[in-house]
């Protein structure tokens, strides 16, 4: 998910891994983007290196979240550094995420704009619940829990969707998706296929 991020202030399960390599971002239409990702069962150095590459790529692309499939890896994991509606940044790594959303009277939709680093240069309104919680496991295999409102809620939903093979365009009307495509095509020259690795 795109949006510039700043200094993180809240890391309940530790800091994000560092030292990764920036990789090209995989685009919509690539098969790995449209299928449920493989469950993480091995919590080893290779997983940590992958997460570090994801973090480096997310920051290079000015994103607030990135799933493993977005750098071509069939792994149910995402990383994020995202502010909530009060501007407080939360950072984290979630493997095998499970989303919890409000129901009944507690469910309120935020019709804010949304974009995706795998379909860069375009944003449209995409209604989503204004609060979300995600449970999963961290890089050490221990349970992690994140929750929040505002952009953080949108980010947790967006990135969990990626691990299930859903892109946010799947949630749009035909008309909204055409607007998104038009913006994307107009901005295509700014995002070559090796973006952001070439920066």
**149 phi/psi in degrees, rounded to 5:** -120, 180
Neighbours of 96 (CB within 10 A): 16
Q: Left (φ > 0), alpha (ψ -120 to 50) or beta: where does 64 sit?
A: alpha
Q: How far apart are CA 186 and CA 159, in angstroms?
A: 25
Q: Is 159 a catalytic residue?
A: yes
Token match 């093979």: residue?
165
Residue 84 token pair: 């909530």
Query: Of these residues, 3, 73, 114, 159, which one is catalytic?
Result: 159
Catalytic residue positions, numbered: 159
């Amino acid at each position: 998910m795109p949006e510039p991020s700043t200094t993180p202030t809240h890391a309940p399960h530790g800091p994000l891994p560092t030292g990764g390599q920036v990789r090209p971002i995989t685009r919509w239409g690539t098969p790995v983007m449209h299928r449920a990702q493989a469950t993480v069962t091995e919590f080893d150095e290779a997983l940590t290196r992958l997460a570090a590459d994801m973090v480096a790529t997310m920051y290079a692309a000015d994103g607030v979240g990135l799933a493993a499939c977005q750098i071509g890896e069939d792994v149910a994991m995402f990383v994020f550094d995202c502010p909530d509606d009060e501007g407080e940044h939360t950072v984290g790594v979630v493997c095998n995420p499970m989303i919890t959303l409000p129901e009944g009277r507690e469910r309120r939709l935020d019709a804010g704009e949304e974009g995706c680093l795998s379909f860069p240069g375009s944003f449209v309104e995409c209604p989503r619940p204004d609060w979300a919680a995600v449970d999963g496991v961290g890089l050490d295999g221990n349970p992690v829990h994140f929750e929040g409102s505002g952009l953080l809620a949108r980010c947790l939903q967006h990135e969990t969707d990626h691990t299930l093979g859903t892109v946010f365009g799947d949630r749009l009307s035909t008309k909204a998706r055409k607007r998104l495509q038009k913006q994307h095509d107009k901005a295509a020259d700014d995002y070559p296929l090796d973006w952001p690795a070439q920066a």
